[in-house]
A and B are shown apart, each in its own frame.
Chain A
Amino acid sequence: DTGVSQNPRHKITKRGQNVTFRCDPISEHNRLYWYRQTLGQGPEFLTYFQNEAQLEKSRLLSDRFSAERPKGSFSTLEIQRTEQGDSAMYLCASSFHRDRGRGQPQHFGDGTRLSIL
């Protein structure tokens, strides 16, 4: 169990640029979640996948945000035309879900910290 891996750990970019983050979940986990955390706040849900299907997107996820999980393994989160307000820690979590079963704990990566200049 190597844990959830996120890359890069830090990203500094100019306003208006596009950025992409990657998340590699725990290998047997079929659910993958993205959260955003700003300083002094708890994480806020953005979106989640079960296998390759994106099942829910938060209203926080504007049209500039897109997430994919093409083969049901790793996932990418892209932000287009970044704005100052996008500066935050982007966290990925994964869990294993059985149909009609109780949810299992989510395990988080160490996040990607995005700074917009």
Chain B
Amino acid sequence: QQQVKQSPQSLIVQKGGISIINCAYENTAFDYFPWYQQFPGKGPALLIAIRPDVSEKKEGRFTISFNKSAKQFSLHIMDSQPGDSATYFCAASRDNQGGKLIFGQGTELSVKP
């Protein structure tokens, strides 16, 4: 049962470009949507998160866009840098279910110099 679907599976972007990763969810009861960044051999690190009461959240070069009616949310990385090359995971959770995270399948981002 795939509750959070993520695309694309891999992404190649030129340095300075915009990286866009999309996620779609099924359960309308989800109320917290974080994005994590993971480097090889490391655990996921929280990048940015959003709740359904706002449609956009920006932190530095990272922006989440949230479309509640379409049950979709996306991560935009502006001015992408080679150091951003990593695997990105979207996730969703419900506060009243202990906050366990349901992750997407991941997107491997490669930023070319």
Contacts and interface: CB of A to CB of B under 8 A. Distances in A.
Given A102-B95, A105-B34, A43 B101 contact: yes
B89 interface: yes
Contacts of B45: 108
Interface size class of A (residues with CB under 8 A): 20 to 34
Identify which of B34, B43, B95, B98 gathers the most chain A CB atoms within 10 Å of its CB. Answer: B43
Interface string A81-117: 0000000000101010100001101111111000000
Given A42-B89, A103-B93, A105-B49, A56 B100 contact: yes
Nearest to B45: A108
B36 to A, nearest CB: 8
Nearest to A35: B101
B99 interface: yes
A33 interface: yes
Contacts of A44: 103
25 contacts: A31-B99, A33-B101, A40-B106, A41-B105, A42-B89, A42-B91, A42-B104, A42-B105, A43-B44, A43-B89, A43-B103, A45-B100, A45-B102, A55-B98, A56-B98, A93-B43, A93-B101, A97-B99, A102-B51, A103-B93, A103-B95, A106-B34, A106-B101, A108-B36, A109-B43
Interface of B: 6, 32, 34, 36, 41-46, 49, 51, 89, 91, 93, 95, 97-106
